[in-house]
């Protein structure tokens, strides 16, 4: 497989894709107000009270550490976030996530400027990061993905870079790691004790934990084989295979019907 379909066929939500127009991903409440001491990267801020804030709903390219190179676009994303925060006098209003800390102990929250604008939405609108949905923090997820989709369609920011075009699963070397957009044709769907697996051409499998399956209730699993899909998330290697965990249907897109099939033809 050398390429992927260019036009998305539809997001695998509960039979509903993100709306074309959004409200700016606004909030009706602010849980606390904080001051920022430093912008660490395109999705993480250090607060004056010593906490680190990881913005919900976005993943930006990683800055290099311990001699590792920066990912493409990482410096630009950090600088855009830094400017947005600086122009707001380094102050933010926070709406805390349902899950309030990640495994690294960082505070998880949506951040807002004094005029009510959503910081995650502003970054996604400029193409400085990728929409990310990790349950249970799904508030405004549809809005975030719709905002990112518009930036992608317009070729803004990171979307201008070939590095972030979806890579065919069959072309990925076994050394691939980190946050990636991938695409590929489904060969089969299988079940394990704790996970459901969507296997793609090439040595790649998408993992959906049984505890997350309820959110995928609108998906016809039997119709997946033969279809091309796109997925985003963190790739890791296990038992000689590349794997990517999908936690929410918005992180998965069906790209089109199987080859030679007319999607609208009667059965």
Which DSSP string corresponds to 118-173? BHHHHHHHTTSSEE--BTTB-TTHHHHHHHHHHHHHHT-GGGGSGGGSPEEGGG--
According to CATH, what is the number of the domain 32-159? Answer: 2.40.50.90
Domain definitions of the chain by residue range: 32-159, 166-256
- Are 32-159 and 166-256 equal in CATH topology? yes
Kind of pairing, strands 130-131 and 58-59?
Answer: antiparallel
* pTM flag (> 0.75): yes
Instruction: Give the model's pLDDT for residue 163.
Output: 83
- Per the CB < 8 A criterion, the answer to whether 186 and 227 are in contact is yes
Residue with tokens 């709903």: 57
Q: Mean pLDDT in the chain? A: 89
Distance CA 191, CA 93 (A): 43
- Per the CB < 8 A criterion, the answer to whether 41 and 63 are in contact is yes
Percent of the chain scored above 70 by pLDDT? Answer: 87
Q: Which of the four pLDDT bands, split at 50, 70 and 90, describes residue 4?
A: low
Distance CA 204, CA 177 (A): 12
Using alpha carbons, list the distances in angstroms from residue 129 to 45, 211, 221, 244. 15, 27, 30, 19
Instruction: Give the model's pLDDT for residue 234.
Output: 96
pLDDT digits (tens, 9 = 90+) for 74-101: 999 999 999 999 999 999 999 999 999 9
Distance CA 196, CA 194 (A): 7
Q: Domain 166-256 sits in which CATH superfamily?
A: Nucleic acid-binding proteins (2.40.50.140)
pLDDT digits (tens, 9 = 90+) for 180-235: 999 999 999 999 999 999 999 999 999 999 999 999 988 999 999 999 999 999 99
Instruction: Give the model's pLDDT for residue 155.
Output: 95
């Amino acid at each position: 497989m050398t390429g992927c379909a260019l036009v998305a066929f539809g997001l695998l939500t509960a039979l509903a894709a993100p709306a074309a127009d959004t409200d700016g991903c606004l909030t009706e409440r602010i849980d606390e107000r904080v001051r920022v001491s430093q912008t660490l990267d395109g999705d993480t801020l250090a607060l004056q009270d010593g906490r680190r804030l990881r913005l919900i709903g976005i993943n930006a390219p990683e800055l290099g550490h311990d001699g590792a190179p920066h990912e493409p676009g990482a410096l630009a994303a950090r600088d855009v976030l830094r400017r947005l925060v600086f122009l707001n006098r380094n102050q933010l209003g926070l709406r805390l996530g349902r899950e309030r800390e990640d495994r690294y102990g960082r505070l998880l929250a949506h951040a807002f400027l004094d005029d009510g604008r959503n910081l995650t939405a502003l970054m996604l609108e400029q193409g400085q990061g990728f929409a990310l949905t990790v349950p249970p923090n799904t508030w405004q997820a549809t809005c975030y993905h719709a905002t990112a989709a518009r930036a992608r369609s317009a070729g803004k920011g990171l979307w201008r870079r070939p590095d972030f075009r979806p890579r065919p699963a069959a072309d990925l070397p076994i050394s691939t790691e980190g946050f990636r957009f991938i695409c590929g044709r489904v060969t089969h769907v299988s079940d394990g004790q704790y996970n459901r697996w969507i296997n793609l051409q090439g040595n790649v499998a998408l993992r959906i934990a049984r505890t997350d399956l309820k959110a995928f209730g609108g998906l016809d699993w039997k119709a997946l084989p033969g279809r091309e899909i796109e997925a985003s998330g963190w790739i890791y290697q296990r038992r000689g295979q590349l794997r990517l965990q999908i936690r929410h249907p918005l992180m998965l897109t069906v790209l089109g019907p199987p080859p030679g099939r007319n999607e609208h033809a009667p059965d």
